[in-house]
Structure 1
Amino acid sequence: MDILSAEFFQRALIGGALIAVTAPLMGLFLVLRRLAMIGDTLAHVSIAGVALGFLINVYPVAVGLLFAIVASFGIEALRRTYRSYAELSIAIIMSGGIALASIFFTLGKGFNLNVNSYLFGSIYTLTGTDLTVIAIVTFIVLAVVLLQKKELFLLTFDEDAAAVSGLPVRFFNIIISILTALVISAAIKIVGALLVSALLTIPAACALSISKSFKQAMVLVIIIGEIAVLAGLWMAGVWNLAPGGTIVMLLIAILGLSLMTRRMFRV
């Protein structure tokens, strides 16, 4: 168990444990609002920001975060414009993100290897600055969710009723989008942009299949996220596997187990 005493692995465990709280929690709200693909969209936009960060020699995660927040505002604006075709907003912003990323990759061929670590995850290279950013994001997300739990619950299950009751729906939609952008930007170095949506959606799918209430689902997504991330990191470290891929495959295994459990209890 020498790997557990390694400083880089301890940083990985801390970062993974923090993001395993916020990503599944925000994913639950997105899944229930049928916006599961927003994770992929903001992740691709974040990669464009990361690439620009390398290009202009600025902390890549910060630039990726800025891009994701701007994209979240864009998604919300397009959702209001195309109310009957809300999924168009996701497709349009994702296309723009991929286009920008490809342009920045072309301009900065020398840093492509560095950007690849954000595409596929590089949790073992987390720095003290990365951990600080992840911790701040975790604090912000938990604070907002705990303080605005009732409002977010109403908005998630019935946006029209929330508007009628006087809730500032537009404001809370923007808040959810910004929180999602924060989480994704913090998570891409852990599981990678190509896999980050799995950390958002699969724990939610597991929890919704076996939970009996929204409150129970909120607790379960965090437990499932923690189990998958910590166990996945340990397995990856011991057997020299890709951490991001191992975490996602473990999440899929947990999903299969939860669906089997649900079927057994129904019988």
Structure 2
Amino acid sequence: MTRLFEALQFEFMRYALAAAIFTGLAAPAVGTFLVQRRLALLGDGLGHVALTGVALGLLANIAPTLTAIVVAALGAVLIELLRMYGRTSADVALAMLFYGGIAGGVLLTNLAGESAASLNAFLFGAITTVGTGDLVLVGVLGLVVVVVSLGLSPQLFAVCQDEEHAKVSGVPVRAYSILIAVLAAVTITVAMQTVGLLLVSALMVVPVAASQQLTRSFRTTHLAAMGIGLFAAVGGLFGSYEIDTAPGPTIVILALAVFAVASLIGAVLTRTRSRRRPVDSL
């Protein structure tokens, strides 16, 4: 504990902690809806598209985070439109995002006179380099994502659970579907410097999968996933400081460890309930 308090004496660690908190809450908040829609890999696809946005920012000498937000949001809208109106299946559309995003990112980076190695900070995260401007942007976007996800949770859940029933009930399914995709795109740019574009999808999906092992209702799963994401982000940050490892991968490994523990606990709870049922029915 002493070393943790010592770490917070450094300004870069205080900034990193704030960024980890926003990321840990925002990523599972949106990831819950993606998992519910069986679009767990959407985060990966949009992460690759955001890479093109980063390279475009380097080429145009604009803040890469801003261009990443715009390009990822456009990619999110495009894939939703393809899913709604096109003949292309969701997995094929995601594959095109994967390939096009990487190719576009590397190509534009080369045109900008940079090497592909300059993208490493965005690919794998560099949370300890977060500055004041970055923290303000991450904080505002993260707060927007959390507030919208919680505030519109009933409507978004209805769209994710059963689109046809939601349409009959008068819910604007297309608008909410696009909103979920755009929120995912914004979340990816929020987490870009924390865990990196290649690992952000893990922080969106793994805490949700872990909470599903222990909870039954959607709302409980949603809140528990945010709690697990927060624990993984903050714990992984301090863990990386303690053992001198990269923060992004450490955060993801911790999230996976929580999933493993949750799976074991969930299995024990399921067996316990199944054994008690005959007794309870008497």
Q: State the TM-score, normalized to the length of structure 2.
A: 0.91
Partner of 1:101: 105
Partner of 1:159: 163
Letter aligned with residue 154 of structure 2? K
Q: Matches of 2:36 and 2:239 in 1, distance apart?
A: 31
The total of aligned residue pairs comes to 267
Q: Matches of 2:49 and 2:90 in 1, distance apart?
A: 18
Letter aligned with residue 241 of structure 1? T
Letter aligned with residue 244 of structure 2? N
Residue 178 (structure 1) shift: 0.9
Q: How does 1:102-251 map to 2 (within 5 A)?
A: 102-110=106-114, 112-251=116-255
Matched, 1:21 2:25: yes
Residue 224 (structure 1) shift: 0.5
Partner of 2:37: 33
Secondary structure, aligned partner of 2:8: helix
Matched, 1:74 2:78: yes
Structure 1 pair 81–91 and aligned structure 2 pair: CA distance change class (3 A): farther
CA contact (8 A) 1:191 1:244 kept: yes
Q: Matches of 1:226 and 1:140 in 2, distance apart?
A: 16
Unaligned stretches of 5+ residues in structure 2? 272-282
Q: Deviations over 1:144-188 (max 9, x none)?
A: 223322211211111110011111111111111111111001111
Letter aligned with residue 260 of structure 1? L
Q: Matches of 2:175 and 2:98 in 1, distance apart?
A: 23
Letter aligned with residue 63 of structure 2? Y
Unaligned stretches of 5+ residues in structure 1? none
Q: Matches of 1:173 and 1:260 in 2, distance apart?
A: 34
Q: Matches of 1:43 and 1:107 in 2, distance apart?
A: 21
Matched, 1:42 2:19: no
Secondary structure, aligned partner of 2:56: helix
Structure 1 pair 180–130 and aligned structure 2 pair: CA distance change class (3 A): same
Letter aligned with residue 211 of structure 1? T
Q: Matches of 1:253 and 1:245 in 2, distance apart?
A: 12
Structure 1 pair 125–228 and aligned structure 2 pair: CA distance change class (3 A): same
CA root-mean-square deviation: 1.4
Q: Matches of 1:242 and 1:261 in 2, distance apart?
A: 29
Structure 1 pair 110–153 and aligned structure 2 pair: CA distance change class (3 A): closer
Secondary structure, aligned partner of 1:189: coil
CA contact (8 A) 1:15 1:134 kept: yes
Q: Matches of 1:166 and 1:83 in 2, distance apart?
A: 25
Residue 263 (structure 1) shift: 1.0
Q: Which has the larger radius of gyration?
A: 2
Report runs of 4+ in structure 1 exceeding 3 Å deviation.
Answer: 111-114
Q: Matches of 1:88 and 1:81 in 2, distance apart?
A: 14
CA contact (8 A) 1:120 1:193 kept: yes
Residue 44 (structure 1) shift: 0.6
Residue 266 (structure 1) shift: 1.9
Q: Matches of 2:67 and 2:201 in 1, distance apart?
A: 20
Letter aligned with residue 230 of structure 2? E
Structure 1 pair 127–114 and aligned structure 2 pair: CA distance change class (3 A): farther
Q: Matches of 2:236 and 2:152 in 1, distance apart?
A: 32
Secondary structure, aligned partner of 2:73: helix
Residue 4 (structure 1) shift: 2.0
CA contact (8 A) 1:3 1:238 kept: no
